[in-house]
Amino acid sequence: MGIHLCFVAPESLKDGDWLTPHETHVFQKVKAAAHRRDWLAGRLAAKKLIQRFFRERAGLELALSQIEITNDEHGAPVVTSPLALPISVAHSVGHGFAALATRGSIGVDLQQIRPVRPNLAKRALSERERAQLTDRFAEREREGLLVFWALKEAAIKAQRTRPAPPLREISVTLTELGCAEILLRDHSLTARWGRWKEFIWAVAWG
Ligand SMILES: CC(C)(COP(=O)(O)OP(=O)(O)OC[C@H]1O[C@@H](n2cnc3c(N)ncnc32)[C@H](O)[C@@H]1OP(=O)(O)O)[C@@H](O)C(=O)NCCC(=O)NCCS
């Protein structure tokens, strides 16, 4: 299965007519400035990704305004034009991240590296995961915790439906550097993670 990723930094956010009429209508309802910026960053990452995918796969040059992304009743992103493709979107402080799978389901997350609540590890991770955290991220526990968190959020998004399961019910095993396996109830997912600028990113699919 092919996985494709795209990151967008705030400086490449563009004004203009790259949204479809329906997207413009949705965007007009987003009021808070920070949310507007994030929404645009996520949309632009997803559209650039789909544009690149069609260019590389089919030699087809699509305008960004020919690609439409809506949200289903659970909030999950849906490509309504040019054709349905599994995608996932995340945004944080004006940065956008999107991933596309050629089949199956996919989820992404983007976490800015920042101080986290002291009890987060206990609340979100199992004993086995906390042992891996200590083992793999000595002296970098905050970053490591955000890796687990991003992987779990990516798994939630790959599942798409709500309500989301509690983070402790999602089991993450770190394997080689940048790779992980995730068990969400009976569903197993393959995952990758990494660092981009001041963020941890994660993608899970299966
Ligand atoms: C769905 C959820 C994962 C979204 O995460 P978030 O941190 O709010 O925001 P992100 O920037 O990572 O992602 C936002 C994007 O997720 C996507 N999304 C929203 N709901 C989704 C769902 N049910 N399934 C898949 N993707 C979804 C949307 O594309 C959205 O962007 P858009 O509205 O601009 O299209 C989150 O709201 C959630 O339900 N988490 C539950 C787990 C939890 O309790 N986490 C907190 C730990 S302390």
Pocket probe mutation, ligand 1, options 153, 159, 189, max atoms within 8 Å of Cβ: 153
DSSP state of 10: G
Percent of all residues in the chain with a pLDDT value above 90, rounded to a whole number: 93
What's the pTM value of the predicted model, to 2 decimals? 0.96
Phi, psi of 176 (to 5 degrees): -70, 170
CA–CA dist 24, 28 (Å, integer): 6
- 56 Cβ contact partners less than 8 Å away, ≥ 6 residues apart: none
Do 16 and 60 have their domain in common? yes
Compute the chain's Rg from CA coordinates: 17
At 108 the pLDDT is: 98
Q: Which domain holds residue 54?
A: 3-104
Confidence tier at 104 by pLDDT (50, 70, 90): very high
164 CB near ligand 1 (under 6 Å): yes
Do 146 and 88 have their domain in common? no
At 161 the pLDDT is: 84
Do 86 and 148 have their domain in common? no
Domain boundary among 76, 104, 132: 104
The CATH number covering residue 31 comes to 3.90.470.20
62 CB near ligand 1 (under 6 Å): no
In the predicted model, is pLDDT for residue 162 greater than 90?
Answer: no
Do 90 and 137 have their domain in common? no
Domain boundary among 104, 128, 161: 104
At 174 the pLDDT is: 98
Give the tens place of pLDDT for each residue, 23-71: 999 999 999 999 999 999 999 999 999 999 999 999 999 999 999 999 9
In the predicted model, is pLDDT for residue 188 greater than 90?
Answer: yes
- Ligand 1 centroid–CA 52 distance in Å is 24
Domain boundary among 70, 104, 138: 104
Number of domains in the chain: 2
96 CB near ligand 1 (under 6 Å): no
Angle value at C-alpha 163, between 47 and 148, nearest 5 degrees = 70
At 147 the pLDDT is: 98
Do 85 and 116 have their domain in common? no
